[in-house]
Structure 1
Amino acid sequence: MVQELRISFQLCFITRLKYWENHVVSLTNYCLLKSFMKEVDSHFTEFVNSLVAKSALLDSSTSASHFPASGSEKEQHKAKTLRAPPEHGKIFTARRSLLDELFEVSHIRTIYHMFIALLIVFILSTLLVDFIDEGRLVLGFDLLVFVFGKFPVVFCTWLCMFCATVFVPYNLFIWWAQGHCSSSHRVLRSLFYGMLFTLFQTAGLGFGPTYIAVSYALPPASRFIVILEQVRLVMKAHSFVRENVPRVLSSVKDKSSTVPIPRISQYLYFLFAPTLIYRDNYPRNPMIRWGYVATKFAQVLGSLFYAYYIFVRLCIPQFRNSSQETFNLRGLVLCIFNSILPGVLILFLVFFAFLHCWLNAFAEMLRFADRMFYKDWWNSTSYANYYRTWNVVVHDWLYYYAYRDFLWFFGKKFKAAAMLSVFTVSAAVHEYVLSICFGYFYPVLFCLFMCFGMVFNFILNDRRKGPIWNVIMWTSLFLGQGVIICLYSQEWYARQYCPMENPTFLDYLKPRSWSCHMKM
């Protein structure tokens, strides 16, 4: 940086010298000017050097105290940008979340303040409209009370899921590992415990929470809590077994005297840690900043109220009326474009509240030092890069346990098939979560993921580097959010306005928004 400033300063100096030469300045003035410019160049270089030193000292003092340095600056940059070699698996290192670094820049912090100002406008708008309509201030949060209803059932369900995940996979693994070293029927024993673990994953964690969510008719947000925890615990249990079984097999092959069995405390820490990749130990911070934890949870709460006002002001008035109109192409197009703004705001809120605030809060409480839960997905010029950087936590699990294991089983020639399988699994799980939480099957997200997502993944690939591709990616992302919010909201209200007394299984699969107007 200093060298570049010096060169530019010298170029300006040479230009000025030529100007004086062309106008035949006397030799005395020329020498005085040259001496003066050398003096200015010396003082300017000294000033820039001190400025850079102070800036580096300030940056290091704000982060090094809580995130200890590991290795040289070049190694830290490499750890941030590059993936570890496949044979080593994921390597965890102490690093901050990207937004925490960006919020130290005043310009980026101003964008955050703009979103807070927009929330204040939403609140004032709602209060004023209610005051004009009702003649008094209405501070009810009926929507929030409804969507988070039946909380005791949710808590009991989560407690049962968590306790089962603590005891069943861990004990099954210990029994298998201890008997694997001495048993003569290793293959049969492995098949037996493998079947028990699969049965627990599918029936215990798979069917049980889903049955409770449906049979108890939990409201949407309560179902989201149960189903997302179900998926998280299934992925955690799989990672624990997947990472430790090869270690036991390797120790048996090497005829080691000790079997590498993790302690229960290590497994418990992993179940709460904001990662889906198991390790016996993770990089840890020296202390907990409780003020930071309180701030992140307050931001989660603020994001929740933000989403409430978005639905109240932008979604519910629109879909409550449009769901009673005849389904036609014109109405669909208007609905999609009117849904882009709330859809994009919801996308930002989900990212900020969960991937940044929620995960960072738990990471801080557990002193978990690797905070790379996402990367700069907003700068993506390809959908391939967007899928890799939007949610690093889930992407790592899919990459190491779905993509790489597929290539290990079938061979490295089937990379396209491995990518297709990962897309299919991810799309199916996303659609499963939405279907259970909303109470109906309407595979909009699955179709967008498998059709447009796959096409854009190959068209907008990593070779697209220009800024125009970032514009194209954001445009398609905006339209996709509009389609999702529009179609799912229309289907929700159609099922409220056109209920069926004795619905069959096919009635849950057919979109009711296409025919609801016929029954009004």
Structure 2
Amino acid sequence: MVGEDGISVRNRRSAYGTPEEKNDVPRRLEGDWSFPSSSNGRIDVDHTMRRMQLLAEVEKLKPAFMKEFDNHFTEFVNGLVAKSVMLESSPSAFPTACTEKESLKTKGSRAPPEHGKVFIARKSLLDELFEVDHIQTIYHMFIALLILFILSTLVVDFIDEGRLVLEFDLLVYSFGKFSVVAPTWLYMFLSTLLVPYGLFLQWAKGYHGSSHKTIHSLFFGVLFMVFQTICLGLVPMYIALAYELPPASCFIVILEQVRLVMKAHSYIRENVPRIVSCPPQKSNSLQVPQVSQYLYFLFAPTLIYRDHYPRTPTRRWSYVATKFAQILGSLFYAYYIFVRLCIPTYRSYSRENFNVRGLVLCIFNSILPAKDWWNSTSFANYYRTWNVVVHDWLYYYAYRDFLWFFGKKFKAAAMLSVFTVSAAVHEYVLGVCFGYFYPVLFFLFMCFGMVFNFILHDRRKGAIWNVIMWTLLFLGQGIIICLYSQEWYAHQYCPLKNPTFLDYVKPRSWACQIKI
């Protein structure tokens, strides 16, 4: 049947195509745009023109469609990446409290934690290095050297005593008075768990509802500083000095004191800006981190607080046992190094008058046991990588906060302040644990360390700079071990009955003379 326009009515009824044409749609979408013929063998002109027009319209809309699709896809991917980073670093400690844009609206507020250090699941640097065959060989060499130290000690003691001596007197003495160390550590840990968390909780609940936010914050800030200074500062130091804890036990108390102080500061420093930056209208929905999150942070091997950290899907007890065995091996390694190399040398030097020749020999004999493992070509890189955990804390809470407070023009002053704080804390630990004031490390750190940091910078590349780094590290560590050991034995051999203030400041090894 034919209509007025001469076109088959059956074909007009099939404007969307016959069943065969419909089945042919996927083929044409893939690029085959040939058109079927009518039942009488002629090309359906109207059908062809409509499809040509449709194709032209599709081609016109294609760029706009692709552009819109690309924009939506880009936004989706960026949002997915941002959410994954936030989940790894600080996932919604305050889920409905405030958004990132609202947090940044507050003028002068510090950037939220997700703009700082981001934790990702990865192997440790040492684990990656130990996968290299050459590094494993060096590791096996050190194990063999430890075995030789043990055998040499046993053989020498057997020759001298006529029997095997397995008393470990140095270890027993160094880790003595455990009955004092254990309750002291428990006191420091529980106070760090309860006091900072409780103070922050009370401050956060009343901050947005307070009519005097500055006074409110100042009050709780002073309480926190009093806790840090007295409860975590003076009390452990007094216990260490009053009970005259031996070196290793004293190091446990003082190093844990420093670690907990830094942990508490990080917890407060990372969470306070979240409360301050959030708008008051959302203050009712504020949710502080849970106690379990803070408790996990106190044991986590980092000094930067996050609500969550990436973790392995299962507990690797074999890995834990391996690392525990390595810690014990390192402990015995240090023990045999001191027994076989250090103590005989320092004991003999301490019985001689102080002179330049003896000092030089002592320093060079102390280089081998003071060997450092890190490999670097610049002091700047060495300071960043010798202790990454401490460096992160100093960078974010000392260096960056200094620049945030005083401005980015004072980078040199910020670096100097970081060096000063680090050197002072190191010297404080050594002074309390050894029982005397002898600022050798502080002097080396502030003088030579600062100079070498600017001279041996990151642009120094090549093998020669690596050799210079190793030479200076060997020499510096030898000086530290030699001078501190001489001062230790001088205090043992030359005690003072009525010491004055100058006697505590003046190195006793300079004037100690023992007549044999």
Query: Taking structure 1 as the reference length, what is the TM-score of the superposition?
Result: 0.77
Gaps of 5+ in 2: 1-79, 90-110
Match for 1:88: what amino acid? Answer: H
CA RMSD, Structure 1 to Structure 2 (Å): 1.9
Instruction: Please show how residues 419-434 of structure 1 align to structure 2 within 5 Å.
Output: 419-434=415-430
- Where do residues 44-59 of structure 1 align in structure 2 (5 Å cutoff)? none
Q: Counterpart of 1:262 in 2: which secondary structure?
A: coil
More divergent stretch after superposition (221-230 vs 181-190): 181-190
- 2:17 paired residue number: none
**Residues 133 and 102 from structure 1, CA distance in 2 versus in 1: closer, same or farther, beyond 3 angstroms?**
same
Residue equivalent to 1:152: 179
- Paired with 2:193 and 2:112, the residues of 1 have a C-alpha distance of 31
Tell me what 2:478 maps to: 482
CA 1:438/1:470 → structure 2, altered by over 3 Å: closer, same or farther? same
2:261 aligned with 1:265? no
Which of 246, 256, 279 is the aligned partner of 2:306?
Answer: 279
Distance 2:268 2:497 in 1: 46
> 2:439 maps to which residue?
443
1:472 aligns with 2:468: yes
Residue 324 (structure 1) aligned with residue 320 (structure 2): no
Task: Report how far residue 463 of structure 1 moved.
Answer: 1.2
SS at match of 2:369: helix
Amino acid across the alignment from 2:482: C
Alpha-carbon shift at residue 128 of structure 1 (Å) = 1.1
- Give me the identity figure in percent: 77
Give the structure 2 partner of residue 366 of structure 1: none
Deviations 1:51-84 (A, max 9, x none): xxxxxxxxxxxxxxxxxxx99xxx9xxx9xxxx9
**Structure 1 residue aligned with 2:154:** 127
Which position in structure 1 is the counterpart of 2:26?
none
2:9 aligned partner: none
- Residue type of the partner of 1:485? I
- Native 8 Å contact 2:352 2:514 kept in 1: no
In structure 2, C-alpha distance between the alignment counterparts of 1:109 and 1:87, rounded to whole Å: 37
* Deviation sequence 1:276-322 (CA, Å, 0-9, x none): 00111111110011011011101101111111110000011111111
**CA positional deviation for 1:254:** 6.4
Structure 1 residues 172 and 86: CA distance shift in structure 2, 3 A: closer
Partner residue in 1 for 2:448: 452
- 1:97 deviates by 0.9
Aligned residues of 2:112 and 2:273 also touching (Cα < 8 A): no
Alignment map for 1:41-80 (pairs within 5 Å): none
2:398 alignment partner in structure 1: 402
Aligned residue runs from structure 1 range 12-411, under 5 A: 88-252=115-279, 255-344=282-371, 347-348=372-373, 377-378=374-375, 380-411=376-407
How far residue 135 of structure 1 moved from its aligned partner, in angstroms, is 1.3
Mark the CA change 1:201 to 1:480 in structure 2 (over 3 Å): closer, same or farther: same
| Contact 1:248-1:260 at 8 Å conserved across structures | no
Helix, strand or coil: the match of 1:340?
A: coil
Q: How many residues align?
A: 410
Quick one: distance in 2 between partners of 1:151 and 1:267? 27
- Kept after mapping to 2: 8 A contact 1:343/1:481: yes
Deviation at 1:411, TM superposition (A): 0.4
Distance 2:174 2:139 in 1: 27
8 Å CA contact 1:339, 1:486 repeated in 2:
yes
Q: Distance in 2 between matches of 1:99 and 1:160?
A: 33
Which amino acid letter does the alignment assign opposite residue 506 of structure 1? L
Q: Does 1:510 align with 2:506?
A: yes
Distance 1:288 1:205 in 2: 33
TM-score for the superposition, normalised by structure 2: 0.77
Distance in 2 (alpha carbons) for counterparts of 1:464 and 1:105? 26
Aligned partners of 1:116, 1:141: CA distance in 2, in Å? 19
Aligned-partner Cα distance in 1 for 2:389–2:285: 32
In 2 relative to 1, CA 435–327 (structure 1 residues): closer, same or farther, beyond 3 Å?
A: same
Cα 1:95–1:158 shift into 2, 3 Å: same
Partner of 1:357: none
> How much has 1:101 moved relative to structure 2?
1.5
Q: Secondary structure at the match of 1:516?
A: coil
Q: Aligned pair 1:500/2:511, yes or no? A: no
Is contact 1:251–1:260 with CA below 8 Å preserved after alignment? no
1:207 counterpart SS class: helix
**2:351–2:514 Cα contact (<8 Å) kept:** no
Post-superposition CA distance 1:455-504 (Å, at most 9, x none): 00000011111221111111000000100110000000011010112223
Query: Aligned partners of 1:395 and 1:329: how far apart in 2?
Result: 36
Post-superposition Cα deviations, 1:116-135, rounded to whole Å, max 9, x if no partner, equal 11111111111111111111
Q: Whose radius of gyration is greater, 1 or 2? A: 2
Checking the alignment, whether the CA contact within 8 Å between 2:208 and 2:283 is kept in structure 1 is no
Shift of 1:172: 0.4
Structure number with the higher helix fraction is 1
Deviation track 1:3-29 (CA, whole Å, cap 9, x = no partner) reads xxxxxxxxxxxxxxxxxxxxxxxxxxx
User: Hey, what's the Cα distance between the residues in 2 that align with 1:148 and 1:316?
Assistant: 17
Task: Note if contact 1:491-1:511 (Cα within 8 Å) is conserved in structure 2.
Answer: yes
- Which residue type is aligned with residue 453 of structure 2? N
CA distance, structure 2, for counterparts of residue 142 and residue 109 of structure 1: 32
Task: Letter of the 1:246 partner, please give it.
Answer: P
Shift in Å, 1:424: 0.2
Displacement after TM superposition at 1:433 (Å)? 0.3
d(CA) in 1 for partners of 2:197 and 2:113?
26
User: Would the aligned equivalents of 2:174 and 2:246 in 1 still touch at CA under 8 Å?
Assistant: yes
Cα 1:275/1:107, change in 2 over 3 Å = same
Asked whether the equivalents of residues 498 and 519 of structure 1 are also in contact (C-alpha less than 8 Å), the reply is: no
Give the Cα separation in 2 of the matches to 1:306 and 1:255: 57
CA contact (8 A) 1:247 1:260 kept: no
**What is the alpha-carbon distance in structure 2 between the residues aligned to residue 180 and residue 441 of structure 1?**
44
1:137 to partner: Cα distance: 1.2
Q: Matched residues in 2 for 1:519 and 1:195: separation? A: 55
* Aligned-pair CA distance for 1:253: 5.1
Letter in 1 for 2:408: K
Structure 1 position 252, deviation (Å)? 3.7
Instruction: Look up the equivalent residue of 1:466 and give its one-letter code.
Output: G
Q: In the superposition, relative to structure 1, how do residues 106 and 410 fare at CA in structure 2: closer, same or farther (>3 Å)?
A: same
